[in-house]
């Protein structure tokens, strides 16, 4: 069921079944949302099965007949880097980009896939911060030239040391370039709260990650406002309009190379970089599944009050 403007439509297996006009203002409600049971009529129970139920606010995902997805909802073509950090072999040195752009990931030190601690799949990427040698890099690309537009960097982290040192050299790198562009997404050396650096100022969240536990962190810019989230809760928001132009040097994950320079103590899983989209601008529940890629589709999409039609190489999940 989809509402677009004042048009309400029902689809069955992607085929329009019925439509009507509906302009009802659906307001906040203190009652429960029931699934499989009616609200006022206690006998209106569903007999059968439900799978892959999704409720989306602010987007009409389909306005004409469509082919329903045949797998779990996927990531989209805004994704310019996607590290599942997965592998069935403990200690694997193969770390790959699963985005549509399949960038080469360069591995340094003893950075490896570990099967003992992971958020999704069979493994995560382990960084031994104490060794001062473990990190990943990815070559310069226009995909990191965010300009003044929207972007999102998000991942899951499992940090084993929240206070590795007394200076900023012990900040823990999520995704950074401090050579020419000066863009850094990291965890602060004291306490492990997310922070962002744009070359002239540091922006600090007030919500640290949890020691020895999986925590979702996200760095988001929407219309000149920077947001930082810890487990879906806003820890910082404020103006940040820096123009991030194309870089001639690499971006780093897990550390910046060299002695005592911003190494991660722990694990990273499901790292995603997205260009041209602010995936969250208010508190949210982190997606508890891997970001899948899928087959081409055309769809109508919307973010906030903007709606248009866009052909992309993945199904339309704006997570």
Q: What is the pLDDT of residue 43?
A: 54
- Token pair, residue 216, equals 């979702």
CA atoms within 13 A on the CB side of 309: 7
Q: Domain ends where: 24, 45, 71?
A: 71
Are residues 60 and 199 both part of a single domain?
Answer: no
Are residues 86 and 120 both part of a single domain?
Answer: yes
CA 43 – CA 199 distance, rounded (Å):
62
Q: What is the CATH number of the domain that holds 260?
A: 2.60.120.200
Residue 319 within any structural domain of the chain: no
Are residues 35 and 152 both part of a single domain?
Answer: no
Local confidence band at 28 (pLDDT 50, 70, 90 cut-offs): low
Q: Domain ends where: 71, 106, 133?
A: 71
Q: Domain ends where: 253, 275, 297?
A: 275
Are residues 60 and 105 both part of a single domain?
Answer: no
Are residues 202 and 248 both part of a single domain?
Answer: yes
The domain of 40 spans 1-71
Are residues 65 and 99 both part of a single domain?
Answer: no
Write the pLDDT tens digit of every residue in 246-293.
999 999 999 988 766 899 999 999 999 999 999 999 999 897 777 765
Write the pLDDT tens digit of every residue in 155-195.
999 999 999 999 999 999 999 999 888 999 999 999 999 99
Local confidence band at 42 (pLDDT 50, 70, 90 cut-offs): low
User: Among residues 311, 154, 169, which one has the least CA distance to residue 217?
Assistant: 154
CA 251 – CA 112 distance, rounded (Å):
18
Lowest-confidence segment of 27-31, 53-57, 227-231 by average pLDDT: 27-31
Are residues 64 and 89 both part of a single domain?
Answer: no
Look at residue 88 and tell me whether its pLDDT is greater than 80.
Answer: yes
Are residues 165 and 195 both part of a single domain?
Answer: yes
Are residues 145 and 87 both part of a single domain?
Answer: yes
């Amino acid at each position: 069921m989809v509402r677009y403007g004042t048009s309400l439509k029902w689809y069955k297996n992607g085929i329009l079944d019925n439509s009507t006009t509906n302009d009802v203002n659906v307001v906040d409600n203190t009652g429960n949302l029931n699934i499989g049971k009616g609200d006022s009529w206690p006998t209106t129970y569903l007999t059968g099965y439900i799978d892959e139920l999704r409720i989306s606010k602010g987007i009409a995902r389909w306005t004409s007949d469509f082919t329903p997805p045949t797998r779990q909802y996927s990531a989209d073509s805004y994704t310019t880097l996607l590290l599942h950090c997965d592998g069935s072999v403990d200690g694997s040195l193969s770390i790959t980009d699963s985005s549509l752009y399949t960038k080469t990931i360069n591995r340094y030190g003893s950075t490896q896939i570990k099967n003992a601690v992971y958020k999704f799949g069979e493994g995560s990427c382990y960084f031994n911060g104490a060794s001062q040698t473990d990190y990943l890099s990815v070559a310069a690309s226009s995909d990191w030239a965010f300009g003044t537009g929207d972007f999102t960097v998000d991942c899951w982290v499992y940090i084993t040391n929240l206070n590795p040192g007394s200076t900023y050299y012990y900040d823990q790198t999520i995704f950074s370039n401090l050579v020419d562009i000066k863009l850094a997404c990291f965890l602060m050396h004291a306490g492990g709260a997310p922070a962002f650096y744009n070359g002239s100022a540091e922006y600090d969240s007030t919500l640290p990650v949890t020691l020895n536990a999986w925590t979702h962190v996200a760095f988001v810019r929407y219309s000149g406002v920077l947001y930082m989230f810890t487990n879906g809760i806003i820890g910082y928001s404020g103006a940040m309009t820096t123009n991030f132009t194309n870089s001639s040097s690499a971006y780093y994950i897990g550390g910046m190379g060299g002695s005592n320079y911003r190494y991660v103590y722990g694990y990273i899983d499901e790292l995603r970089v997205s260009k041209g989209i602010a995936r969250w601008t208010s508190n949210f529940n982190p997606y508890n599944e891997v970001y899948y890629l899928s087959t081409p589709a055309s769809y109508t999409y919307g973010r906030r009050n903007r709606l248009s039609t866009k052909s992309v190489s993945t199904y339309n999940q704006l997570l």
